Amino acid sequence: MADILSEFPMPKVIENMAEELKKIKESSAAYATDIDALQSMFNAIDLTTLNTTDSEKSVAAFVERVNQFAVDYPDLKNVGGICVYPVFAPVLKSVLKQPDVFRAVVAACFPSSQTFVDIKCAEVKEAVQKGANEVDIVISVGEMLAGNYDFVREEVEQLNNAATPARLKVILETGSLETPENIWKASILAMSAGADMIKTSTGKNGVGATPEAAFVMCQAIKAFNEKKHRKVGFKPAGGVRTVEDACFYYSIVRTVLGDEWSGPKMFRIGASGLANALLNQILKVKTGKKQSVKYF
């Protein structure tokens, strides 16, 4: 099955990505004052709570902030999704009143992905049955690094089947994969196994998103769409906290993939800390005055 990799040789543009990223970075600054771009970024946020101290009560209150946002800021688009542990899928289903906000869970032994495949599938399936319409899973990074590509692809395929009809977001944990070659291969394997979106990182292993990883993944998405005619979404996550960061990643997506990769189905960005930063920037651009709102 890993013969799929031979269909997708890594393009030469990745060898020169430092130069490409420098240009993209320079042009990204303009998005910080572009109200449409800022609202697009805000609408791409996965508002996330993944704490040991989470409870039904705290998650319900977290979700209610998203409901209330629609009341307090009716002229703004809401966040793209809310992401919680799988046990709180029923809370998302019962409390969330915004139909355009995805109900996402992390599953399949997140963040390590180190357990039996049947247990991973069972957790994914139950989370979907109880209300999730998006599931974030992590590839088996150790097997990927060991070159066990068939295993990695087949496991993602099984998890994709278990998640149906929900959308599957596949986390590559790019900080552990380290090299552009590994990130490229993992991207192709995940997409060929049915991923609806590929995501850089969990944010739980100390290394989050990087522009280099984002560039490689977006090039892989572009190549996959050109050959297989299927659009796969992209999400940078882990350490994306500032408006400047968001603008850079947004610019990478727009430059490599184009305007069609907009809206929360095709572009998502993490995480909760970024929501307030983008909201304040939107309000600043709208009013001309510096804002310090801490909404989420």
Beta bridge partners of 199: 171, 235
54 is catalytic: no
pTM, two decimal places: 0.96
Give CA 19 to chain center in angstroms.
25
Going through the chain in order, the beta strands assigned E by DSSP cover 46-48, 81-84, 102-106, 134-138, 167-171, 197-199, 233-235
Distance CA 285, CA 32 (A): 9
**Residue range 109-132: mean pLDDT, rounded:** 98
pLDDT at site 1: 53
Catalytic residue among 120, 125, 169, 199: 199
Residues in CB range of 133: below 8 A, 6 or more apart:
102, 103, 104, 165, 166, 167
Percent over 90 (pLDDT), the chain: 92
Domains present along the chain, CATH in parentheses: 2-287 (3.20.20.70)
Catalytic residue among 169, 185, 222, 235: 235
Residue 205 pLDDT level (bands cut at 50, 70, 90): confident
Which 3 state secondary structure label does DSSP give 198?
strand
Q: What is the pLDDT of residues 41-57, one digit of tens each?
A: 999 999 999 999 999 99
Q: What is the pLDDT of residues 211-264, one digit of tens each?
A: 999 999 999 999 999 999 999 999 999 989 999 999 999 999 999 999 999 899
Q: What is the pLDDT of residues 251-281, one digit of tens each?
A: 999 999 999 998 999 999 987 789 999 999 9
Distance CA 237, CA 201 (A): 5
Distance CA 115, CA 108 (A): 8
Nearest to 238 by CA among 48, 43, 26: 48
185 is catalytic: no
- Which DSSP string do the residues of 77-115 spell out, in sequence order? ---SEEEE-GGGHHHHHHH---TTSEEEEE-SSTTTT-S
97 is catalytic: no
**Residue range 85-103: mean pLDDT, rounded:** 98
Distance CA 240, CA 292 (A): 19
Catalytic residue among 136, 169, 185, 245: 136
Nearest to 172 by CA among 105, 240, 220: 220
Q: What is the pLDDT of residues 169-202, one digit of tens each?
A: 999 999 999 899 999 999 999 999 999 999 999 9
